[in-house]
Chains A and B, each alone.
Chain A
């Protein structure tokens, strides 16, 4: 059974860093394209980043240069390293496998 479990969210001060993890089971992360999508409280969905099976990565303009998507093939886990966090990064962050399977989300709150 395909399962995605995000972790690593929490309360962080502006300017701080956080790393989100998405532990996968039931499939191989490196064989699929994997995405991060976020949703600010009461707002719509915002695509954040994608990593393809070949390793290519792409980012939304709003996070380019601050966020890094990566994966650990041995741990079968997807990551999102978030640096220089801003209040507007506050959101529930979802990981997704090929847009079909989604995790339950992890909340990131950027506030002093």
Chain B
């Protein structure tokens, strides 16, 4: 199975900061990577698919990049609503896997 490793596990930041989260795959997944945002008690929300495509309705401050084994999610200017946990997910194989998550906290 493909393993997905996110870093950091926790990130402390302030409103207005530029934030970057990294996701590494244990083998090449081409661009078959998605990013989700999850808030406590809520279902995940799709932000980015196919590594860099912004899901409809998602603010443009969110962007994704990367391919093969290394990917990043960037929030260009952190907003109060962005404090949440973020997950990457590979769907290159029929057995999909999530990263362990990155919690973005208020500094």
Residues of A within 8 A of B34 (CB): 99
Considering only residues 1-45 of chain B, those with a C-beta below 8 Å from chain A are: 1, 34, 36, 38, 43-45
Closest 6 CB pairs of A and B: A102-B43, A58-B94, A47-B96, A44-B101, A45-B98, A44-B100
Chain A nearest CB, measured from B85 CB (Å): 8
B46 touches A (CB below 8 Å): yes
C-alpha spacing A45/B101, complex, angstroms: 8
B55 and A50 form a contact (CB under 8 A): no
- Given contacts A102-B44, A105-B43, is CB(A45)–CB(B38) below 8 Å? yes
A46 touches B (CB below 8 Å): yes
B60 touches A (CB below 8 Å): no
Count how many pairs of residues, one from A and one from B, have CB atoms less than 8 Å apart in the complex.
47
**Count of residues in A whose CB is under 8 Å from the partner chain:** 20
A44 and B98 form a contact (CB under 8 A): yes
Residues of B within 8 A of A104 (CB): 43
Please give the residue numbers on chain A whose beta carbons come within 8 Å of chain B beta carbons, in ascending order.
Answer: 35, 37, 44-47, 50, 56, 58-61, 94, 96, 99-100, 102-105
C-alpha spacing A82/B11, complex, angstroms: 36
Contact with A along B72-107 (1 / 0, CB 8 A): 000000000000010101010011111111000000
C-alpha spacing A102/B34, complex, angstroms: 15
Residues of A within 8 A of B55 (CB): 100
C-alpha spacing A60/B93, complex, angstroms: 11
Residues of A within 8 A of B71 (CB): none
In the complex, 13 of the A-B residue pairs with CB atoms within 8 angstroms, ordered by the A residue number, are: A45-B38, A45-B89, A46-B98, A47-B96, A50-B94, A50-B96, A94-B43, A94-B44, A99-B34, A99-B49, A99-B91, A100-B55, A104-B43
Residues of B within 8 A of A59 (CB): 95
Residues of A within 8 A of B43 (CB): 94, 96, 102-105
C-alpha spacing A105/B43, complex, angstroms: 7
